[in-house]
Amino acid sequence: MHRLIILGPPGAGKGTQSERLARDLDLAHVATGDILRRAAQDGTDLGRRAAEIMRAGLLVPDDVMIGLIRRELAAPAAAKGFVLDGFPRTLEQAKALDALLAETGWKLDAVLYLEVPEGELVKRAAGRRVCKKCGANYNLLASPPTRAGICDACGGELYLRDDDREDTVRRRLEVYRRLTEPVVDHYRSCGLLRRVDGLAPPDAVYRSLLGQVTGAAKA
């Protein structure tokens, strides 16, 4: 059983790696960006508001996100352990999570922090393609689909996320530096932060992350 957070700037590989960790360690994968994009696709009230904010490269208000995480962690799936991907993103969210975990008596094992230089992040975002139908993720440079524009897994159409356009990526990076880097400092001061080089190829990054998770479980 593990309770983990994966942190890092936009495009660092949080989704790629946390999906695999969740599968291999049998954890709930709680990815706030995916939840918001699904809500937007379903046309819910939250989804409509979030779509506009995401398109602008800004953050959905803290109270909305804290409510969403409270519901996700109360769901039966989270009882087996979880990896949070995309939350917390502000100091206020991190403090709300601390309080929520204190209520439940749950403790975090580790906060995995993927470090990737900014130039690489912009390249990765520009190359990312996502399947409209099943959500599978490709990268034109690192992991292209077999047929251009078509998902290998389900044959669905691949698209460029609205917030992956270069000017929006730069805005997301600026928001990350201003609002999310203090979250990194918060977990560093709690002694939970585990840094991993996210520039390496995906399998190497995964091995490092797994090493950190196993090490944290033994500690």
* Chain residue whose CB lies nearest ligand AP5: 33
172 in active site: yes
DSSP 112: E
Residue carrying structure tokens 């700037």: 9
* Beta carbons within 10 angstroms of residue 67's beta carbon: 13
Residue 16 and residue 139 in contact, taking contact as beta carbons nearer than 8 Å: no
- How many Cα atoms occupy the beta-carbon half-sphere of 92 within 13 Å? 10
Q: Which of 55, 95, 161, 171 is catalytic?
A: 161
Q: Tell me whether residue 13 or residue 213 sits nearer to ligand AP5 (CB atom).
A: 13
What is the DSSP secondary-structure string of 74-88? HSGGGGG-EEEES--
For the CB of residue 64, give the shortest distance to ligand AP5 in the complex, in Å. 8
Q: Tell me whether residue 105 or residue 194 sits nearer to ligand AP5 (CB atom).
A: 194
CA distance 164 to 147: 21
Q: Tell me whether residue 94 or residue 213 sits nearer to ligand AP5 (CB atom).
A: 94
49 in active site: no
Q: Which of 14, 37, 124, 129 is catalytic?
A: 14
Q: Tell me whether residue 209 or residue 213 sits nearer to ligand AP5 (CB atom).
A: 209
For the CB of residue 218, give the shortest distance to ligand AP5 in the complex, in Å. 26
195 in active site: no
* Beta carbons within 10 angstroms of residue 182's beta carbon: 13
* Beta carbons within 10 angstroms of residue 103's beta carbon: 10
Which residues of this protein are in contact with ligand AP5, per CB under 6 A? Answer: 8, 10-16, 32-33, 36, 53-54, 58-60, 65, 86-87, 89, 93, 124, 127-128, 137, 139, 142-143, 163, 172, 201-202, 205
Tokens of 54: 């995401």
128 in active site: yes
For the CB of residue 219, give the shortest distance to ligand AP5 in the complex, in Å. 26
CA distance 18 to 66: 20
For the CB of residue 15, give the shortest distance to ligand AP5 in the complex, in Å. 3
Q: Which of 3, 20, 37, 89 is catalytic?
A: 89
Q: Tell me whether residue 1 or residue 117 sits nearer to ligand AP5 (CB atom).
A: 117
CA distance 70 to 103: 11
Q: Which of 20, 37, 124, 172 is catalytic?
A: 172
89 in active site: yes
For the CB of residue 125, give the shortest distance to ligand AP5 in the complex, in Å. 6
Which strands make up the sheet holding 128-131, listed edge to edge? 137-139, 128-131, 158-159
* Beta carbons within 10 angstroms of residue 189's beta carbon: 9
Q: What residues are labeled active site? A: 14, 89, 128, 161, 172
